Structure 1
Amino acid sequence: MTPPPPTAPLPLPRHVLGTEHPWQLVRDDFARLRTVFVYSRTDEWSAVADDERRLPLLLGHETARWRRLPATSARRRFVASRALVKHTAGALLGMPPHAVSLSSTSAGAPHLPASPWLRVSLSHTDDLVLAGFSTAGPVGVDVERSDRPLVAAGLPDAFCTADELAFLHDLPPHRRNAWAVRLWTLKEAYTKALGLGMRLPFPAFGFHFPSGRPSLRPPLGRPELQSPTWQFSTHGLYHPHYTASFALAS
């Protein structure tokens, strides 16, 4: 069997500073790798969130959903997520952000119905919003606080494989939680890229780290999920406060 061609490394996530970001940098990343990852803080989209006269133009059919959100913080996070996706997609597609049509799949994942070849994934925690875009294949992203207390709560038993639990146990105690968060975000990113979310039980598949890089141990008995070209990466955002993981099948 001919081995698959070598793949380019996944791009580094790029910090987007709101509407005035130099979008040519994002387009250049995308032109080279057909994939781009971007992130922002909610307050970096304050100019958009505060302009309630023009905001319905950007949100379109989601304006009613925005109005139903009870808390100011939830509203601003919602606006930031839509602004990040629509401004980035607009930069990649060569159209104004308000012209980007954004909807959701039956699984709740973001979808660009007028440009289905441009895959998109979205995640947020606290006031941080993260998105991924690719024409190379299915893409998934996930971000969590690096200090989310997974180990103290006993959660790895619920989402790790036996090999992953052994891996965590062999680590010094002060390093276990950071690696548990890394495993969690990798699993979230992978299942988002598959379009399955948590409908695929997390203990059914795992990750190991030859040479320090994440590598998938796919679900047994699910050959359709065992693509040889999956790529994964993990990065700290606003280091060391957040852990973000990325998945791409090309």
Structure 2
Amino acid sequence: MPEAPAPAPEDTRPAIPAPGECHLWHIPVRPRPDWLTLLDEEERASAARFTRTRAREVFLTSRAAQRLVGAHYLGVPPTAVTVRRDCAHCATEPPVPHGRPRFAHGTPPPVDYSVSHTEEHLLIAVTGHGVVGVDIEARGSLRDADALPAAVLTPAEREHYTALPAHERRDWLLTAWTRKEAAMKLTGLGLRAAPRHLDVRGPQVTAGPIPGWPDTPIHLYPLPAPEAHTAALASTTPITATRTRTLP
């Protein structure tokens, strides 16, 4: 997938992604105490409850970056960006919102986005057309790799996996898992979608009988990722170009 042409120098605020375009925001996770001011009171309280410093930094980076990215597209200050996380698949709102995040500006909002992170890196995918899901994984993150295929792969995927040379299996499994995660995040179903019912070997997801799964095709794309990471994008509209963005 090609990189979209850079905007003209005077274009200081990114335009809404064009049809077929996705903006990819890459943000390294590192201490940014000044970003704490971008969080609301509830988020600051949540950050304070983390006992692990790294987990707190990931949370702070994610919540603040979503507001900073939103501000670029919405034309408002970061502190004025409101993010909703209510679940479209729940009959009643749970005590802790767990739906896919979206900007609460406009009906529908001018952009859709998805966010994923490891302990080292945050990735936000933004589109102006359709719905997206993104996932990034560290290559050393697979645990119980021997047991995972039976839990997350379809029968046809397991057959493909076992036919691979042993030294190729781990990378293939991580790529498949990343593609499944991106698709599940797009739908907002998460692991309720049962990844073993999703075949992600092709350019589109082939889904088994999953309640709440959309009828529209979900397209899958590999993404460039930082060293020792794997990333994937899912989209309800075909993506023909990406534009890489970053935050300091």
What TM-score does the superposition give when structure 1 sets the normalisation length? 0.77
Spell out the pairing of 1:116-155 with structure 2 (5 A cutoff). 116-117=108-109, 118-149=111-142, 152-155=145-148
Deviation at 1:24, TM superposition (A): 5.0
Is this contact kept in 1: 2:82–2:105, CA < 8 A? yes
Deviation at 1:81, TM superposition (A): 0.8
Q: 1:25 to 1:246 in 2, by over 3 A?
A: farther
Is this contact kept in 1: 2:186–2:235, CA < 8 A? yes
Spell out the pairing of 1:23-172 with structure 2 (5 A cutoff). 27=14, 30-31=17-18, 33=20, 35-43=22-30, 46=31, 49-51=32-34, 55-56=36-37, 58-61=38-41, 62-106=43-87, 107-115=98-106, 116-117=108-109, 118-149=111-142, 152-172=145-165
- SS of residue paired to 2:178: helix
- SS of residue paired to 1:157: helix
Is this contact kept in 1: 2:19–2:128, CA < 8 A? no
Residue type of the partner of 2:40?
G
Deviation at 1:235, TM superposition (A): 2.5
My pick for the range that moved more, 218-227 or 149-158, is: 218-227
Is this contact kept in 2: 1:125–1:143, CA < 8 A? yes
Is this contact kept in 1: 2:139–2:230, CA < 8 A? yes
Q: Distance in 2 between matches of 1:201 and 1:223?
A: 12
CA shift digits 1:102-151 (9 cap, x unpaired):
23223342221224422221111122111122231121111111233357
Extract structure 1 runs of 4+ deviating beyond 6 A: none
Output the aligned Cα RMSD.
Answer: 2.8
Match of 1:243 in 2: 230
Q: 1:171 to 1:26 in 2, by over 3 A?
A: farther
Residue type of the partner of 1:249?
T
Q: 5+ residue gaps in structure 2?
A: 88-97, 238-248
Spell out the pairing of 1:221-236 with structure 2 (5 A cutoff). 225-228=214-217, 230-236=218-224
Is this contact kept in 2: 1:186–1:232, CA < 8 A? yes
Residue type of the partner of 2:82?
S
CA shift digits 1:140-165 (9 cap, x unpaired):
11111123335744211100001101
2:162 equivalent to 1:173: no
Match of 1:16 in 2: none
Q: Distance in 1 between matches of 2:121 and 2:231?
A: 11
Q: Distance in 1 between matches of 2:10 and 2:207?
A: 36
Q: 5+ residue gaps in structure 1?
A: 1-8, 14-21
Is this contact kept in 1: 2:133–2:186, CA < 8 A? yes
Q: Distance in 1 between matches of 2:28 and 2:191?
A: 26
Deviation at 1:198, TM superposition (A): 0.6
Q: 1:151 to 1:27 in 2, by over 3 A?
A: same
Is this contact kept in 1: 2:135–2:233, CA < 8 A? yes
Q: Distance in 2 between matches of 1:237 and 1:144?
A: 9
Deviation at 1:89, TM superposition (A): 1.4
CA shift digits 1:206-244 (9 cap, x unpaired):
1223xxxx332122476963323x2211134123x0011
Q: Distance in 2 between matches of 1:25 and 1:247?
A: 28
Is this contact kept in 2: 1:150–1:180, CA < 8 A? no
Higher relative contact order (CA 8 A, sep 6+): 2
State the number of aligned residues.
220
Q: 1:149 to 1:65 in 2, by over 3 A?
A: closer
Select the structure that is richer in helix: 1
